[in-house]
Structure 1
């Protein structure tokens, strides 16, 4: 496990041909970070620990992680700002930790691109189960792409499951991994109205456990990026009493 502190200037990188999955744990509670890091290391990850928000952004650029465990309350720069900056150069999976259970903290964290969240105190085993679900998702997307049309079109909206690209009226739409997966799942079955649970199983997997309202936050962000509003739901529609379905583009 690599422990990265404010005095670190470089991080050893493994041989590309044999590089394991990389994880960065960003938490100022050193004992907790060590425990999380040890669990990740046992699961085969190359682990880097950071205890300060400002240092985290530099480390994340160097490491190019597959997954980040990111505390909301950090010294120097909070987890929301770290995540915001991370999303300008990486689409890695982000699981956010918070000691505050208020809904506003969750919504703020997810609004900058976190894929999942957990409230402290938590079980390290549950944390690893959540990370396992996130890491399996790329294979789920590939499976969906294999059984659907190479390109999905909804009016002016074009979704490429293989290239994981979205264009609206010819312009690229910058979705996070989770936002893309939610939109692609809806578009792959245009006749289906998805409940929150059904969308969770399609995107996060059947083994995911947590607050199902997480879906609402990601749908809201997809709508905002596609220009949908509560009154004009062209691309993602609310089905009252059920959940969501893909729109018609009109």
Structure 2
């Protein structure tokens, strides 16, 4: 795996390089947002670790530029005092975030959890292509592709995992903590805004009217559910 580290603090950057390469992964690194976008354009990366407070170009803008061209997983780094900015980063398409100060081993665990959800285990008795709303929404669980309204919906790894969890049990209400554990691979400690951000992004990509969702609906005081059963023929 080839990882791009975008971090302006040399000590943190060096620690991350050491730990990631100890895992057997290859790394590129930079402290500059403009250079980060350039590195991404010229080299294939499997993951971006992105600090928000960087020179050249803010981390949020780097994430937005990358999302214009790729769904590569992005983990954001942020200080506790800027957690609200991180939620904005999630709204731009980041898959996860971790608050400074953090332990390198925690970040490694998050990375492993992220890539486990990118390649989930198949259930042999499960249909791999599900259609909803007369075929207006098509989810190919095997190919990890989604079509909404006849157009490809380019979901991030986290958005696809979120959708795949919800559609497997239509009508089941998932609390934010349960979704965080199931989708992200760990129990989220916070107010649930990270999951809300991922749901918002997912709705933008699959809902005919994101402001009045048809598929992923809010259950006030409880969480979210997928409101529609698959088409009968499954074809």
Say whether the fold is shared (TM-score over 0.5): yes
Question: Of 117, 122, 132, which aligns to 2:97?
Answer: 117
Please list the CA deviations of residues 135-187 of structure 1 after superposition, one character each: whole Å capped at 9, or x if unmatched.
Answer: 221232x426x553121222121111112121122122222221121112111
Q: Which residue of 2 aligns with 1:8?
A: none
Q: TM-score, normalised by structure 2?
A: 0.87
Aligned position for 1:216: 196
**Distance across 2 between alignment mates of 1:147 and 1:103:** 41
Q: Does 1:67 align with 2:47?
A: yes
Deviations 1:1-48 (A, max 9, x none): xxxxxxxxxxxxxxxxxxxx1111101111110111111111111111
Partners of 2:127 and 2:182 in 1: how far apart? 17
Q: Do the aligned partners of 2:51 and 2:76 also contact (CA within 8 Å) in 1?
A: yes
Distance 1:169 1:49 in 2: 39
Q: 2:126 aligned with 1:148, yes or no?
A: yes
Of 106, 112, 130, 1:126 maps to: 106
Equivalent residues in 2 for 1:96-245, closer than 5 Å: 96-140=76-120, 142-143=121-122, 146-155=124-133, 156-205=136-185, 207-211=186-190, 212-225=192-205, 226-230=207-211, 232-245=212-225
TM-score of the pair, normalised by structure 1: 0.82
Q: Choose the corresponding residue for 1:78, options 58, 62, 70.
A: 58
Structure 1 partner of 2:232: none
Q: The residue matched to 1:98 in structure 2 has which SS? A: strand
- Residues 91 and 201 of structure 2 are in contact (CA less than 8 Å); yes or no, is this contact kept in structure 1? yes
* Alignment size in residue pairs: 225
CA distance in 2, matches of 1:241, 1:99: 29
The answer to whether the aligner puts 1:34 opposite 2:14 as a matched pair is: yes
Q: Deviations over 1:199-219 (max 9, x none)?
A: 2232222x4554343111101
**Bigger shift: 176-185 or 146-155?**
146-155
**Aligned mates of 2:93, 2:150 — CA distance in 1:** 24
Give 1:53 shift. Answer: 0.6
